[in-house]
Amino acid sequence: MEDTELERLKRRMLRERLEEATTTELLVALRRAANEAAALAWLEPFPLLAFPELFNEKQVGEKARIERQQLVRARSAELFIQAA
Lowest mean pLDDT among 2-6, 48-52, 63-67: 2-6
Q: How confident is the model at residue 2 (pLDDT cuts 50, 70, 90)?
A: low
Of 1 and 14, more confident: 14
Three-state SS letters, the chain: CCCCHHHHHHHHHHHHHHHHCCCHHHHHHHHHHHHHHHHHHCCCCCHHHHHHHHHHHHHHHHHHHHHHHHHHHHHHHHHHHHHC
- As a whole number, mean pLDDT of residues 20-28 equals 93
- As a whole number, mean pLDDT of residues 25-33 equals 96
Percentage with pLDDT > 90 across the chain = 83
